A = this chain, B = another copy of it.
Amino acid sequence: MKRNSRLSLALHTLGHMAGQPDRIRKSADIAAHAGTNPVVVRRVLGSLRQAGLLVSESGHSGGWRLARPPEEITLADVYLALDERLAAPDAEEEPHDCTVAHAFHHRVSTVMAEVEQSLIQKLGKTTIFEIRETATDLS
């Protein structure tokens, strides 16, 4: 894995779940299929659970499954569930910066915010169910 690995892992897993929504999957199985570690899977899917996209259960026949039908989960939901943002949310404006730096920073932040809204809107138009239909696999 390299970058955007969290998003890749999340989408990959949700894609398979969209194909068989009733099947309950274990972290270990998901990790094996994705070529990573069960703990990493729990971390990423934990964010999706926190956002209400997934449900996890402990115990003997526990595991992960979709919290709602795949037709109602968009790529934007996944993107927002993980906290990956294009622009840093301007944690602190350093007050000692000169006016020039402030002006540029403000302008760039504004543009980035607009672009991010555009991104979210675009991602919101596609559900994991639709994407899943694009793939012609049989697993």
Contacts and interface: CB of A to CB of B under 8 A. Distances in A.
A30 to B, nearest CB: 12
A132 to B, nearest CB: 7
Nearest to A119: B115
Interface residues of A, number: 40
A3 interface: yes
A88 B15 contact: no
Contact of A8 (B86, B105, B135): B105
A60 interface: no
Nearest to A136: B99
Interface string A120-139: 00110010000110111101
B8 A101 contact: yes
A122 B131 contact: no
